[in-house]
Amino acid sequence: MAVAVPTSDSAPAEPAGEILPATSKHAGGGGFRSHLGSLLFLAPGAVWLLLIVVYPLIATVIRSLFDASGQNFIALGNYKSIFSTTEIIVALKNNVVWVVLFPFLVTFFGLVFAVLTERIRWSTAFKTIVFMPLVFSATAAGLTWASIFFIDPHTGMVNAAIQGTANAINPPGLYPIDPASGQTVSGLAATGVQPGPSGSLESKTAVSPGSTVQLGLIAIAPTILQANGAAPAVAPTASPGAITGLVWRDFSPTHPLVRGQVFPDEDGIPGLQLALLNGSGSSVAKATTAKNGTFTFANPGSGNYHVQITANNFSAGFNGIFFLGTQTLTPTSSLSPTLQAIFSLPIVDIAMIIAYLWIWAGFAMVVIGAGLAALNREVLEAAQIDGASEWQTLRRVTVPMLAPVLVVVFVTMLINVLKIFDIILNMPAPSSQSGAATLAVNMYDDFSTATGQGLAAALAVVLFVLVIPAMLFNLKRIRG
């Protein structure tokens, strides 16, 4: 069958009815008119943005260039004051402590909690418990943790736990007083006692077997005696070959100026631990006072002795650590005083960081947990098949794959603590408020006074400048 081949002279036929494309044109004529509707919708938001962001920013920068009255232009004078004022330098140091410690810690705990939620059955309850503190304001959290760290062990949970452990290891004495003071009333000293070594009391005179000794104390409250089951004091009776004696509260309400005589309205001091010291000061026997204050050392041997009321009777035990006070953790004394001041860490900063971790660890856990759920499980399974342990898988596989998420959490927390304010305003004791202040707190304090508003504006500008790099870096990570 023959096929017709078109010659070069023949032209291809155009499709019937083909319409050539026309040049597109925006309805409304293009240019400004085409965007007019969008601009009208954006206008209210733009106006509010100018009013609540741009205008305050410009006004703050301008105010920072004027003096306290706001009338005299002093250029960078307020900025010079920032780096020459002791309180602001301390606040800047506290900001550095927060920036160095908190973002690392909250990212670490967020990672740990996120990994744990994949290993435990009750992960939903665990996430709820950890995330719940985020609903509280920092002010409420600060007040709550202030009570937790309160110095009184009867109120502060932390000190109560430490007290229970410390008292179990080193029990306090029954009579927590200072034995070196308070042993006189109305100018008359207690009978027969004198200060001994290391906070103990000793008999003034030596005693030998077959004789008695009376030791009067004054600085013990009657309520303590009653709590320990004290009975009326009884004068000691001599016993052959033994040393007997009495320790009693040498103060009679009916005979307030008489010392050394046992009256019916005077109580013995029960439960005191006594030691019998020989001529060289070594303990050769021990005894404990009865409810009426009497004691006996049976058959100590010939010689002269002194009776010692040991120091552990007066030990107050653990009375609490003032976590919210001015104490600091100071590095080794080999450093110069200047370096010690730089590297010392206020204990109240540690307490506040713990409280802030309580708030934000849940946020870090949720963000990191979302990143962890999106990881390629085949990579993790391959690492386990190759024999990697849980720790090796976490360190060499999981963390590198989570690096973008971890950086976002870290930088977000960095921005957060650069302007931390409310928890520091409410948690420390008033005596340590200035030592724990940050730049934001100083800005608040300065702005509340008419003479410090220029300096407060300069601090606000400095904080803004410090936050900008971290903010831009975070935005770049999110877009990337």
Q: How far apart are CA 357 and CA 423, in angstroms?
A: 12
What confidence score (pLDDT) does residue 429 get? 85
Q: How far apart are CA 443 and CA 167, in angstroms?
A: 44
Contact 220, 248 (CB under 8 A): no
CA angle 384, 390, 393 (to 5 degrees): 65
Q: How far is CA 344 from the centre of its chain?
A: 15
Please say if the pLDDT value at position 66 is more than 80: yes
Please say if the pLDDT value at position 297 is more than 60: yes
Contact 411, 392 (CB under 8 A): no
Contact 408, 110 (CB under 8 A): no
Q: Report the 10 Å Cβ neighbour count for 139.
A: 14
3-12, 105-114, 267-276, 452-461, range with the lowest pLDDT: 3-12
Which conformational region is residue 199 in: left (phi greater than 0), alpha (psi within -120 to 50 degrees), or beta? left
List the end-to-end C-alpha distance of the chain, in Å, as a whole number. Answer: 65
- Best CA proximity match to 327, nearest among 425, 427, 435: 435
Residue written as token pair 């601009």:
39
For 168-201, how does the pLDDT look when each residue is reduced to its tens digit (9 = 90+)?
888 888 888 877 776 765 555 677 888 888 888 9
Please say if the pLDDT value at position 106 is more than 90: yes
> pLDDT tier at 390 (50, 70, 90 boundaries)?
confident
The count of residues in the chain is 480
Please say if the pLDDT value at position 28 is more than 50: no
Phi, psi of 68 (to 5 degrees): -60, -35
Q: How far apart are CA 250 and CA 282, in angstroms?
A: 28
CA distances from 6 to 2, 125, 161, 353 (A): 13, 81, 103, 88
What confidence score (pLDDT) does residue 170 get? 82
Q: How far apart are CA 235 and CA 294, in angstroms?
A: 8
Task: Write out the H or E segment, with its range, that includes residue 218.
Answer: none
Contact 281, 230 (CB under 8 A): no
Contact 427, 347 (CB under 8 A): no
Chain mean pLDDT for the chain: 84
Average pLDDT (41-45) is: 88
Average pLDDT (211-236) is: 91
Please say if the pLDDT value at position 22 is more than 70: no
Contact 142, 427 (CB under 8 A): yes
- Report CA torsion sign: 158, 159, 160, 162: positive
Q: How far is CA 444 from the centre of its chain?
A: 22
Percentages helix, strand, coil for the chain (3-state, rounded to 5) are 50, 10, 40
> pLDDT tier at 357 (50, 70, 90 boundaries)?
very high
Structure token pair of residue 198: 């290391």
What confidence score (pLDDT) does residue 248 get? 93
Q: Report the 10 Å Cβ neighbour count for 98.
A: 22
127-136, 178-187, 362-371, range with the lowest pLDDT: 178-187
Q: How far apart are CA 396 and CA 466, in angstroms?
A: 33
Q: What is the CA radius of gyration of the chain?
A: 39
- Burial class from Cβ neighbours inside 10 Å (0-12, 13-18, 19+) for residue 480 reads exposed
Percent of the chain with pLDDT over 90: 30
For 397-446, how does the pLDDT look when each residue is reduced to its tens digit (9 = 90+)?
888 899 889 998 998 899 889 888 889 988 998 888 888 889 889 888 88
26-40, 153-167, 173-187, 447-461, range with the lowest pLDDT: 26-40
What confidence score (pLDDT) does residue 332 get? 63
Strands of the sheet with 294-298, listed across from one edge:
212-217, 242-249, 294-298
Please say if the pLDDT value at position 312 is more than 70: yes
Number of helices (H), then strands (E), belonging to the chain: the values are: 17, 12
- Best CA proximity match to 213, nearest among 242, 253, 185, 243: 243
Q: How far apart are CA 193 and CA 203, in angstroms?
A: 5
All domains of the chain, ordered by start, with CATH? Answer: 77-159+340-479 (1.10.3720.10), 184-314 (no CATH)
Q: Does 180 or 104 have the greater pLDDT score?
A: 104
CA distances from 454 to 87, 264, 297, 422, 466 (A): 16, 74, 77, 22, 19
Q: How far apart are CA 87 and CA 84, in angstroms?
A: 9
For 375-387, how does the pLDDT look when each residue is reduced to its tens digit (9 = 90+)?
888 888 888 888 8
What confidence score (pLDDT) does residue 117 get? 87
